[in-house]
Amino acid sequence: MKRLTRLPALTGRTALRALPALALCTAAHPAWAQAEASTASVQVYGLVDAFVGSMQRSDEKGRTRVLGSGGMTTAYWGVRGAESLGDGLQAQFALESFFQTDTGTFGRNSTDPYFSRNAWVGLSGGFGQVSLGRQTNPMFAASGAFNPFGVSLQFSPFMLHTWQPTYNRAVIGDSVWDNVVQYSSPTFAGLRANLLYGMGEVTNRDSVRNLNLTLNYAAGPFAAVLSMQQAKTGPGFTTAIGRQDAAMLGASYDFKAVQLYGQLLRTRTPDIRLTTDTAQLGAAVPVGAGRFMASVARTERKVTNGAQTHRTTWAAGYDHFLSKRTDLYAVYMRDRLTDFRGNGSVGFGMRHRF
């Protein structure tokens, strides 16, 4: 057995900067795995996405020309691993960071932690999977799975209305939750369940927490999801806003010549007497090595005994795959908010998975 040289201790930001190199070295040198090589694996992976665009929301007075990050998918990198423990039991982990392709900055913004996309450890087996840590909100994942533009926070009408703060997002809180215990069931007859409990970690206030139940169903060309949550902690919650309830229903059907998508979302924020209703219809048509995409979303915001506003956003685009890992995309989007004129945005970008 080859003797390993002891490494100097790493602390603070030095350790964070060294993580990518350590991950690559681990993958490149099997000796590091030693006797566990046959039962354990570690993988480095990620996605880089950048676009050139001209952007203007309905409520913006000026147009902004950008070289932006994450036109279709927010850029990220990660390390994940698994170890077989015998009898079908596995130990698993994932550490993932968002980053901005245009500036090289880690995180989506200055408040993101280093491992902003995921940081969890868990066990899986015939019972399903139990995982602990910072984890993606299943409602966010379901939002992207049932519209043709996926999780795009730049060009997907439904994602903009639901998750983007600059579009008066309907869902309060982050797309990733802290302090989560998650259970994911095995798939039975096409049905799979996810249950999340996110601890608020507030002394003597156990009621400050996040809950989510998501049911996914898939059978041949048909797929559907029901995601329900009650959130009380995270970005957007203040002393004036202490709770929000949200429910989303999504469905898709692949006719081969065209895939159709539909979504309905309702949120209730009782502390400010606000209710939002969002509906989305979309379609994707495969053409050669790519596909044409179109989607429209409409959101109605109602305050009890108060003002009502409507927002309608539609987008059309083409996504062309150069390979299984690399694609080019072009999108035009139009946005209209109550009391403002309609404005358009356009973007051309590239996405690469590794």
User: Tens of pLDDT along 29-79?
Assistant: 444 444 444 578 999 999 999 999 999 999 999 999 999 999 999 999 999
Give the C-alpha separation, 263 to 278, whole Å.
8
The per-residue pLDDT for 211 is 97
- DSSP letter at 189? T
Is 23 inside any structural domain? no
Give the C-alpha separation, 12 to 24, whole Å.
20
Is 288 inside any structural domain? yes
Give the C-alpha separation, 312 to 167, whole Å.
11
Is 1 inside any structural domain? no
The answer to whether 280 and 254 are in contact (CB under 8 A) is no
The per-residue pLDDT for 38 is 54
Quick check: pTM over 0.85? yes
The answer to whether 77 and 97 are in contact (CB under 8 A) is yes
- DSSP letter at 234? S
Read off the CATH number of the domain in which 170 is found: 2.40.160.10
Range of the domain at 299: 48-353
What torsion do the CA atoms of 246, 263, 134, 274 make, to the nearest 10 degrees? Answer: -30
Q: Is 106 a residue whose pLDDT tops 60?
A: yes
Is 290 inside any structural domain? yes
Q: Confidence band (pLDDT; 50, 70, 90) for 257?
A: very high
Is 2 inside any structural domain? no
Q: Is 136 a residue whose pLDDT tops 70?
A: yes
What number is the average pLDDT over the span 86-114? 96
Helix and strand numbers (H, E) in the chain are 3, 17
Q: Provide the domain count of the chain.
A: 1
Q: Mean pLDDT for the chain? A: 91
Is 262 inside any structural domain? yes
- 31 or 203, greater pLDDT: 203
What is the b/e burial string over 269-293, where b = at least 16 CB atoms within 10 angstroms of the residue's CB? beeeebbbebbbbbbbeeeeebbeb
What number is the average pLDDT over the span 111-115? 94
Is 52 inside any structural domain? yes
The per-residue pLDDT for 75 is 98
What number is the average pLDDT over the span 303-321? 94
Q: Confidence band (pLDDT; 50, 70, 90) for 307?
A: confident
Q: Confidence band (pLDDT; 50, 70, 90) for 349?
A: very high
Q: Is 4 a residue whose pLDDT tops 60?
A: no
Give the tens place of pLDDT for each residue, 213-251. Answer: 999 999 999 999 999 999 999 888 988 999 999 999 999
Is 12 inside any structural domain? no
